[in-house]
Amino acid sequence: MNIFVINSGSSSLKYQLFRLPAEQPLCSGLVERIGLAEPRITHKVFAGGEEQVIRQSPTQLPDHRAGLQAVLQLLTDATLGVIANPADIEVVGHRVVHGGETFAATTVINPAVKAEIKRLFSLAPLHNPANYLGIEVAEQVFPQAKQVAVFDTAFHQTLPEQAYRYALPEALYRQHGIRVYGFHGTSHKYVAAQAAAYLGNPDARLVTIHLGNGCSMAAVRGGRSLDTTMGFGPLAGLVMGTRSGDLDPSILFHLIEHLGYSPPEASNLLNKQSGMLGLTGYSDMRDIGRALDEGDERARLAYELYAYRIKKYIGAYAAVLGGLDALVFTAGVGENDPLTRRLACQGVEFLGVRLDEEQNQLRNGQLREINAADAAVKVLVVPTNEELEIAQQCYQLLADSY
């Protein structure tokens, strides 16, 4: 089954094409700066164990439809193409960030599903409109394909009520849906399944730690999410690249009432000017790591604060799970930053966590253990693959009908 996975952003389009059940993509790519000056396309084709990269700089890509049409030309290219025509795409899988309480599973898209995604725009104003646009464009470019939505929030729909409810008047939940939804669910689901399979324990008690520009953690047992750090929106929990993570809500009132911030300005501050950027002037951990090597005290504090928040949630989630079988680090920082992993694991040795520092320093792009050989708790680095997870969920949903 040819499954084309799309992650549509406001000015970008990320994609991979899989021929399931094979897990290796036929091609992948990224269209950037759609509707802006100097758009770029990076397209990779995987054939015979080799990777060929095509880079294009179109004079203009006025909208997402133009971007997807440019991708289609690459997919069907006479020399490097991987399909003959658009009809070869049987399924288009879409990442949709917010599914509210409506969508707890992968769903075939129809007019009612689209209407519900649209209704949820206010809960994910930066993401759901772009995801919706990707659906509409794909329906035009691949009209014969089944369109399928995979929701980032769906994995966390298994949270118990005491974990997803806030201590607010009940009407705010019943009438307005104010509750914990959680995000990065596709990544947490994928790495939790990989870790449980590696451990040979389907009931494994796992803390999955997704550290990229956005960061979140989840308490997972038996493949079910029991708690997660992000909440009603993606601002809560860990310190992130530009987001503050957890803070005292009274800070917001102080900003607005005493420092003259408008609500939009306060939102911009907490979402786009805080986190590691606010602490150091950099949002990328590689830049912060270089600053740390140069003796920058702000970088030192930022690393310690970042890891301290992770450590607090490790302890909290070990309590939620009633014990711990493995910590699972994933995503760009989680997979590639040994210092973050070391700092996050220091001080939780009482839980059975002990790193092998030599293993922690290695990078091989594969699932691997970085714990000491005799440690009671495994510490795993598991590369995430959200696009493959989306493709596999589409395949599982539709395989019986093909």
Q: Is 371 annotated as a binding residue?
A: no
Q: Is 333 annotated as a binding residue?
A: yes
Q: Is 386 annotated as a binding residue?
A: yes
Nearest-angstrom CA–CA distance, 106 and 396: 9
Is residue 246 among the annotated active site residues? no
- Give yes or no for a contact between 106 and 150, defined as CB atoms under 8 angstroms apart: yes
Q: Is 211 annotated as a binding residue?
A: yes
Q: Is 212 annotated as a binding residue?
A: yes
Q: Is 335 annotated as a binding residue?
A: yes
Provide φ and ψ at 107, rounded to 5°: -140, 135
Q: Is 128 annotated as a binding residue?
A: no
Q: What is the DSSP string of 109-163?
A: --HHHHHHHHHGGGGSTTTHHHHHHHHHHHHHHSTTSEEEEEETTGGGGG--HHH
118-157 burial: b if 16+ Cβ within 10 Å, else e: eebeebbeebbbbbbbbbebbeebbeebbbbbbbbbbbbb
Q: Is 101 annotated as a binding residue?
A: no
Structure tokens given for 272: 């786009």
Provide φ and ψ at 113, rounded to 5°: -65, -45
Given 88, 152, 325, 337, the catalytic residue: 152
Q: What is the DSSP string of 175-229?
A: TT--S---S-HHHHHHHHHHHHHHHT-TT-EEEEEEESSSEEEEEEETTEEEEES
Q: Is 213 annotated as a binding residue?
A: yes
Q: Is 127 annotated as a binding residue?
A: no
Tokens 């839980």 map to which residue?
A: 351
Q: Is 95 annotated as a binding residue?
A: yes
Q: Is 214 annotated as a binding residue?
A: yes
Taking each helix axis as running N to C, give the angle between helix 386-398 and helix 185-199, from 0 to 180 degrees, rounded to the nearest 10: 80
Q: Is 285 annotated as a binding residue?
A: yes
Q: Is 332 annotated as a binding residue?
A: yes
- Which parts are annotated binding residues for substrate? 95
- Which parts are annotated binding residues for ATP? 14, 210-214, 284-286, 332-336
Which residues are catalytically annotated? Answer: 152
- Which parts are annotated binding residues for Mg(2+)? 7, 386
- Which parts are annotated binding residues? 7, 14, 95, 210-214, 284-286, 332-336, 386
